[in-house]
Structure formats: C-alpha cells, structure tokens
Amino acid sequence: MKILFAASEAAPFFKSGGLGDVLEALPAELAKNKEDEITVILPLYKKIKGNTALALSFVTSFSMPSPLSEDYVGVFRLKWGKVNYLFIDNEYYFCRDGAPYGHGDDGARFVFFSHAILECLQHIGYYPDIIHLNDWQTAAVPVLLKAFYGALPAYERIRIVFTIHNIEYQGYMPYDFAANVMGLPCEYHDVMRYGDSVNLMKSAIMLADRVTTVSRTYAQELKYAYFSHGLDPIIKQNEYKLCGIVNGINTALYDPKRDKALPAPFSSTDMSGKAICKASLQEELGLPVRDDVPLIAMISRLVSHKGLELVECVLDDILSRDVQLVVLGTGDGKYEDMFRFAEYTHPDKMKAEIRFDSALASRIYAASDLFLMPSKSEPCGLSQLIAMRYGSIPIVRETGGLYDTVPALNTETLSGRGFTFQAFNAHHMLDAIDRAIAFFHDKKKCERHRRALVRYNSSWRASAEEYLTIYKSLLA
C-alpha cells in the first residue's frame, strides 16, 4: 500500500505538541512493513528550509490557480529512515518569523497547503492509495479532492482517513471563505457550512471515508457537547465511520537507557541512574538537592484544557506540602505568570521554565517522581506515556486517553499505573496528589512500581496494526 500522511507538523522537523510526535512515530512504525510505502507531506516552514543539516532535494515547481491569482508551489523531498518526506514550499505562506501557527491568515495558509498536496501528486506522478489527514489544518483536502480532482481516474481511487487529534481547533472561517479563498463551486458550500461559518473539520468528518481519533474513550466523549466544542451532532451523524485508536510513543527515542539528554542512563533492571538524574536536575534548576522530597513535574502547553484552573485553585496548598514542583511549558500568559509568581514566592520548591525545550523535557521526565496531568479533556496525551517510560508515576484526571492509558493504581497489589481522580475538582486533584506523595514515601513499593512503569509497553506496534486494518478495509 502507498500511504500519504498529511499534517502541519512532524518531529524531528517541527513539533509544537503531541501531533508532531505522532507524525514522527506512526509513519516510522508502518514503514517497517516492507510491502508498504510511507510518505509524509509537510509545509516547508522557515525553520526547516533554513536547516542546512537537512539534505533536502528539489523535486519540481509549478503554479497553482487560486481564486485570487496563481500561487507558486515548490516541492522538496527527503528520505528520513524508511519514510519519504515531501515538503511544500511557498515563502509567502510558510517562510515567516515566529511560530508556524497563530497567524491571522492560517485558514488561507492551510487551504493552500491542502490544495498543493493534491495538485503536486500529478506533477510528481505519485498517487497514494490512502491519504491520512490530521486535524483541521489538512481538513480541506476531502472537499478539494471531490470538487477539483474527483473526475480524474488516478485520483478517484484515493481513500481518505481523517484523524481528530484535538476537536478544540476546528478551522472556523467566515462563510464567504468557501467561495473566496477555497474557490469552491456552490454545490460544495453546504458541506462546508456549520452555523453561520465555514468549518473545515466538519467538512472532513462528513466527507472522509473513515474518521479516527486518538483513544477509545475520546471517541465516546466526542458524542457529548461537553467535549465536542459544538460538533457532537456531526460526530453522532458519522458515528458509523468513527473509531478510537490509542496513540503510542516511539520507545526507541523515548528510552531512558539511550536518551543522550540524560546525565545518567537507567532501565527497569538498573534504576540507579534515575537518582542521579534527579540530583542533577535539582542542581541545574537551583532547587535543594534532596532525594527524600517528591519531585512533581508538569510538561505541557499552558492552556485551559490541560486542567490549569485546578492547579491555580490549589497551587498554594500543593506548595505547602514538602514537595518540589517543576513546570516546563508555554501558553496563556495568565498561567505562565501564575507559575513565575509561585517560583518567586517559593524559590526552594517551585521552578517555572517557560519555554519549549525538548532536551530539558527529557531531563525533567527522568528526574521526576510524579507527573501531574489533570486535563479537563485529553484526546490521548503523550506526556503521561513518556513520563511512565521514564519511571515517573502519573497523576491524571480520568478522561480521554488518560483514562485508557493510566488505570488507577491499587497501592496494595500494585495493579494499575497511576493516581487518578474523576471530577473536574481541584480538591479531588489535591487528594490524588496527597495519595501519590504518601506512596512516594513507601520506598520499596514505589521502586517496584517504577520499574513496572519503565517496562510497560506503550509502543506503536498494536495501534499501527489497527490503522493497517482500516486502510486495508478501505481498499478491499
């Protein structure tokens, strides 16, 4: 099978969160099958184009008609491991300073990207069996395929899988966007419309052959208004083609035995390096070097749905315990300032690292005893999987992928994986933190459980098989 993944980010080229991790690891896992040819297509952001260490080679260029003019499209390629990467170049849209997302014209930028994906296929003579789309940034592909390429035999056979990584971001645009920016004939305007706007994600859910999301529980939750950000009627209408497949992590990359960012390696058979990692991080961040204090970590985008209201509510209570709290993240100014202020008032207990830093993230996962992730909603969540891989015990709210991957720990039998709470309530979270702190002090059990977490198999293999089954069923 020829499978083309399309997305707005993929590590190691560019990553802002879990989507980037998934688009690195899932294609690589699928590419292990000799009979499948895996390609990933991405925008050529300034950061990637300017990276001289990447041996990108130019493939072709062409101009693509758009409602307003003609757009230049350049195509570059790179082989990375067993995966082929294609990059769509247009300096106006993608060679910008600052973050790759969050520009006022993101809608137009990603519609251009979606259109260029389809147009480039005939220029490079490559027609995939499956195009696997990810989130709103590539959600325009199904309608553009139908409207502009449906009559071409080579395109007619292509099947579309659309994965919802986070339904919070849907690609809402003004109603005239369908005609003026996408150039769609009026018979396609209805499928684009949701309420008074164009909604790109809604159109992809309607038109894709299969829709997946990143955990079984999130697939159920999406049918309820509380989780769906307005799309529950569309989800229910398309339930017959929706399923949840839990994300994995790249266990070769996230491996405390091989991770070059760590001051000392460790594994489930020899955990001694973990204590060195903890002391080293405490020293690096200027915290008291103590092995008898639980080090709690958060590595997260600092946005509301990660449960930061709960942390805000009881931050002083958490810091009144004998703990150390290390937060690595960027996001809403309100939460960045909240953690900076807590660091100012509790310099011996709290460190706020307000930046994106993958090597520091590794050091924090490895050093931490407990990992706090109290999300309001969590499609899958990778941070809790990485934390477990580095022997850090998760404290999570029972939602979405957190519910699927972190069953409640029974501290007697040591079945389960972490400390959980159900209601979105700050004192329930505090209770889970207190239970986790008490467990930390039960040295023997805590050590045994940590080893079990490092051993736990969170690799992509089983989920990659589930995707393969879907692809095959679409081509049968």
Task: Give whichever of 142 and 400 is closer to ligand ADP, judged by the CB atom.
Answer: 400
* Nearest residue relative to ligand ADP (C-beta): 18
Furthest-apart CA atoms within the chain: distance in Å? 68
Q: How far is CA 290 from CA 119, 263, 279, 318, 328, in A?
A: 59, 17, 7, 18, 20
Residues that bind ligand ADP (CB under 6 A): 17-19, 21, 299-301, 328-330, 356-358, 361, 381-383, 386
Choose among 59, 62, 71, 60: nearest CA to 112.
Answer: 71
3-class state of residue 77 by DSSP: strand
Task: Give whichever of 184 and 373 is closer to ligand ADP, judged by the CB atom.
Answer: 373
Task: Give whichever of 19 and 144 is closer to ligand ADP, judged by the CB atom.
Answer: 19
- 273 phi and psi angles, rounded to 5 deg: -65, -25
Task: Give whichever of 8 and 300 is closer to ligand ADP, judged by the CB atom.
Answer: 300
What is the C-alpha end-to-end distance of the chain, expressed in Å? 12
Euclidean distance between CA atoms 247 and 215, whole angstroms: 7
Shortest distance, position 218 Cβ to ligand ADP, whole Å: 11
Shortest distance, position 100 Cβ to ligand ADP, whole Å: 15
The DSSP call for residue 392 is P
Shortest distance, position 360 Cβ to ligand ADP, whole Å: 7
3-class state of residue 461 by DSSP: helix
- 291 phi and psi angles, rounded to 5 deg: -90, -10
Task: Give whichever of 9 and 89 is closer to ligand ADP, judged by the CB atom.
Answer: 9
Shortest distance, position 16 Cβ to ligand ADP, whole Å: 7
- Name 394's bridge partners: 371
Task: Give whichever of 327 and 446 is closer to ligand ADP, judged by the CB atom.
Answer: 327
Choose among 78, 116, 69, 453: nearest CA to 271.
Answer: 453
| 400 φ/ψ sector (left φ>0, alpha ψ -120 to 50, else beta) | left
Euclidean distance between CA atoms 388 and 106, whole angstroms: 35
Task: Give whichever of 207 and 352 is closer to ligand ADP, judged by the CB atom.
Answer: 352
Shortest distance, position 166 Cβ to ligand ADP, whole Å: 6
Shortest distance, position 250 Cβ to ligand ADP, whole Å: 10
| 381 φ/ψ sector (left φ>0, alpha ψ -120 to 50, else beta) | left
Task: Give whichever of 323 and 385 is closer to ligand ADP, judged by the CB atom.
Answer: 385
The DSSP call for residue 14 is B
Shortest distance, position 464 Cβ to ligand ADP, whole Å: 17
Shortest distance, position 247 Cβ to ligand ADP, whole Å: 7
